[in-house]
Each structure stands twice: as C-alpha cells, then as structure tokens.
Chain A
Amino acid sequence: MNVRCWIVRRRLDSLASGELRGRRAESIRRHLKVCSSCAEEFDRISSALNALRSVGQDVKWGRAASSESWHGIRERLAVGWHEQPAFRPLPLAAAAFGTILIVIGILVVISPGEESGPEVAHETAKPLPGETFVALPEGIRVPVMQEYTLEAVPVSYEVEWGRF
C-alpha cells in the first residue's frame, strides 16, 4: 500500500457515509477508479454501513406508541416515581474503605504519643534539693539513689596498664 492509498483509506468511511463532498471526494473517486484494492475496501465499508443503516428502517414509532408511552410516563409522575438506586458493590466497598482510613487517621491524631506520658512523670518526679524521695502524681514516693562522687568511693583501684 503506497502513501496515496493510505491517505485515501483513511477517508473511505466519510465518503461512504456521504460526509465527504467537493474536491476531496472527487479526488478520492478518481483514485478508486484506478486502484482496485482501495475500490474493494470502499465496497466493503459501504456494504457494512448499509447493513447497519438498514436495521434503522424497520423501526417505526407511531402516534399510538407515543401515546402508550405518555400514559406510562403520566402514571410514574403521578406516583412520584423515583428510580431505585442500583446496588453497586465497588463504589460501596471504596466508600467503606475510605471511611475506615479516615477513622484510623482521626484515632492516630487524637491518641497521645508514647513519649508524652513519661515526660510528664519525669517532670513531676524531679526531686527537690535535699530530698531523697521523688513524689509521683499518684502520691507514690520513690527513693532516689545517692550519687557518689569519686572522693566518696572507699576503695581506690589502681590498674597497671599494659602488663598482663
């Protein structure tokens, strides 16, 4: 298939449906006269579209059918008709999943962090100068270990480095 055929084939459906007119249509028709392959393709497209259009010819809609519809419409309007919402599992599942995520997010935001408890306890448990007990919020007193300075250690250790 050469370039000319490729260009023509892209427009065959428009020609077959009567949308293409004027010089463009003439140009394509001239090509179809000399190119059997494109002419055959044009016949196939025309045939398929004719089959498609032919089904439309049989459907008739008269005044009687229209009146019948009108009665149905009037009945539905009279009873305040509303279409039943269709059950759609995927959107429902997505909505449920989204709700769960939001709830989890809210719980994470409002729940106290792990560090906050001990921090408060540490502050309240700080001993005052001279005290040997720490007062906890619940009224519990916890003994504080004595801090020993180097001078207070009764035994001194001398280590001889490098000789084993």
Chain B
Amino acid sequence: MGSENLNVAGTGTGERIPDEESLIRLCRVGDEAAREELVHVHSGRVFRIAFHLLGDYEAALDVVQDSFVRLFQAISRIDPKRGASAWLNRVAVNLVIDRLRKKQRNGAEVALRGETRGPDREPSEIAERESLKRDVWKALGVLPEKYRVALVMREIEGMPSKEVAKAMGCNEATARWRVHKARRLFKEVWEREGGFDRYPIGEET
C-alpha cells in the first residue's frame, strides 16, 4: 500500500493502520488495500444500522455494499479531514428509507429475518431472544420513519446526537427532539403491543 509516508494509528492489537484521512487520500488514487481497510473500519456500523431498521440480514448486506460503492464512486468529493463516517451513515439511512418505502408501496411486511450470532446460548434462550427481537422490530416498524431511524442510531447503535443529526440531515436540536419523542412513542407501542406482559419489568432482557 505504500504507507511509509502515512499517518498511522494504533489499533490496540499491535497492528498499525493508516488513519482515515490517509485512507481516503489513498482511495482517491485507486488504492485497493485502502478501500478494503475503509470497508473494514465502517462496514460494521453501517450493517447494524441497516439491519436494525430493515430487520433483514440479506437486505442489510445489500445496503452495506450499495453504500460503499457510492462512497468509492464519489470519493473525490469526500473531504479527507472530515472522514467518511457521516457521509456513509447518511447514504445508508437514505438507502434504508428507500427500501422501507418500497416495501410499504408493495404492501410487503418486514421480513424479520435475522441472525443471532451471540455467545453460546441454550436453545430455549435463543428462542426467547429471537422472539424478543421480533417483538422489538415489530414495535419499531410501527414508528414513523424519522423516529425509527433516530431511535436505532441513538439507542441501539449508541451514536451521539451530533452524528444522528448529520445522518438524518437535520440540526442537533431536531435530532435530540426526535430521539426524545421516539423513546416515548416506542414505550407507548411496546405497552400497547403487550411487551410489558411478555417481558415483565425487572427481568433482564
């Protein structure tokens, strides 16, 4: 990759990789290894956002690939100092919203196909967690798009309000308000759908 002249950052595992600014500069000149590294750095977050919004493993993978293809096609317009994170989040959210709208138009229900790749669990526990996931996705699916996106990014992905705002194309105060409203809406839907009856308060979920 020719990283002699690049800034490098420690990963904590002894491996040293170029920082994101350098990676983007290398991507601009068509460096394949830099592109691959950028995918490794950001694909997890993009996948999780898409997966929790779509509830479909294959569709989420497709969003990841679409997002990165668009990133590399537009890499000359990305400011290396700002990084690719916010740009990718925004593109991924837009792609997810497009897919959700397409599903709504076609009258298709959310596929709710996920994969539990957690630590080794008992079959009964896996079944219970699958059921919980399905119920959470169902409740999320009832929320309007903008609240669903805000809730997933803030509560599940743990992104700060500033990043949520950038991904949603609004200001920070609006993003905070959407998260606040989304939490209350989710609690109402969870209550209405019998979530508190199936998963009693106080029990570890």
A59 interface neighbour in B65, B102, B117, Cβ under 8 Å: B117
Contact B184 A66, beta carbon cutoff 8 Å: no
B7 at the interface (CB under 8 A from A): no
A81 at the interface (CB under 8 A from B): yes
Write the B58-94 contact mask toward A (1 if CB under 8 angstroms, else 0). Answer: 0001001110110011000000000000000000000
Write the B186-202 contact mask toward A (1 if CB under 8 angstroms, else 0). Answer: 11001100011001011
Write the B153-188 contact mask toward A (1 if CB under 8 angstroms, else 0). Answer: 011110000000000000000000000100110110
Contact B118 A57, beta carbon cutoff 8 Å: yes
A51 interface neighbour in B48, B64, B180, B190, Cβ under 8 Å: B190
A109 at the interface (CB under 8 A from B): no
In the bound assembly, the distance between CA atoms of A16 and B44 in angstroms comes to 26
In the bound assembly, the distance between CA atoms of A76 and B68 in angstroms comes to 10
Contact A48 B157, beta carbon cutoff 8 Å: no
Interface residues of B in 100-158 (CB under 8 A from A): 102, 114-118, 129, 132-133, 135-137, 140, 151, 154-157
Which residues of A lie under 8 Å from residue B47 when comparing CB positions?
59, 61, 65, 69
Interface-centre pick from A59, A61, A77 (highest chain B CB count, 10 A): A59
Contact A86 B98, beta carbon cutoff 8 Å: yes
Q: Is the interface of B mostly helix, strand, loop or mixed?
A: helix
Which residues of B lie under 8 Å from residue A48 when comparing CB positions?
183, 186-187, 190-191, 195-196
- Determine how close the nearest CB of chain A comes to the CB of B157; give it in whole angstroms: 7
We find that the number of chain B residues with CB closer than 8 angstroms to chain A is 51
A52 interface neighbour in B64, B66, B151, B196, Cβ under 8 Å: B151
Contact B155 A49, beta carbon cutoff 8 Å: yes
Contact A56 B191, beta carbon cutoff 8 Å: no
A53 interface neighbour in B51, B68, B118, B155, Cβ under 8 Å: B155
Residues of chain B touching chain A, judged by Cβ–Cβ distance below 8 Å, are 32, 35-36, 39-40, 43-44, 47-48, 51-52, 61, 64-66, 68-69, 72-73, 98, 102, 114-118, 129, 132-133, 135-137, 140, 151, 154-157, 180, 183-184, 186-187, 190-191, 195-196, 199, 201-202, 205
Residues of chain A touching chain B, judged by Cβ–Cβ distance below 8 Å, are 13-14, 16-17, 43-61, 63, 65-67, 69-70, 72-74, 76-77, 81, 83, 86
